[in-house]
Amino acid sequence: MKLNKVVVCQIADEQYGIPVENVISIEKMSAPTVIPQMPDYMVGVVRIRGELVPVLDTMKILYNRPFQENDKTRMIVVITEDISVALIVDEAKEIVDIPSELIKQVNMLAYRQTPYFIGVASLPERLITLVEPNQLFESLEGIKAIKEHIQSQQ
């Protein structure tokens, strides 16, 4: 039985899982530096361990409304093919081992619109939508401008 280790986070009323191998760290929310002319889902950049990291509003990306910061708001820093990015989540909950047989594939119609949802873990007490952070990042409009800005600042 293969186990999939994921970091579970809360965004709106849903729980999402990000594969642990993609997660660099979980950080407290800090005020990002705003960069003009960037896509509306990018709230700015922060420096984490000396690296400039774009901060993305997952609430805006998934639900088309801005996040509401509170004391549980966190940034999950993930590695993508090109750069690290921080995803704002309402709460980082836990790390969970999910057996492969509990993961169902997302239906094909929804998959075309959201190719970054790689499955849904059907656990006894809850559902966790699994997210592939590299595909999420690459699917966003305006990503080239973000990459160019970050690479020019390094």
152 contact partners, CB below 8 Å, separation of at least 6? none
Residue 130's pLDDT band (cuts 50, 70, 90): very high
pLDDT digits (tens, 9 = 90+) for 66-107: 999 999 999 999 999 889 999 999 999 999 999 999 998 876
Torsion angle (degrees, nearest 10) of CA 117, 122, 128, 133: -30
At 31 the pLDDT is 92
At 111 the pLDDT is 53
Tell me the domain boundaries of the chain.
3-153
- Cα(144)–Cα(140) distance, rounded to whole angstroms? 9
Cα within 13 Å of Cα(29), Cβ side: 17
Residue 149's pLDDT band (cuts 50, 70, 90): confident
pLDDT digits (tens, 9 = 90+) for 1-52: 577 899 999 999 999 999 999 999 999 999 999 999 899 999 999 999 899 9
Q: Which two tokens stand for residue 37?
A: 């002319």
Homologous superfamily assigned to 3-153: CheA-289, Domain 4 (2.40.50.180)
Could you tell me the CA-to-CA distances from 68 to 12, 65, 79, 89 in Å, in that order?
Answer: 10, 9, 24, 10
Amino acid making up residue 140: L
* Structural Rg of the chain based on CA atoms: 15
At 79 the pLDDT is 94
Q: pTM here?
A: 0.91
At 105 the pLDDT is 80
Cα within 13 Å of Cα(119), Cβ side: 15
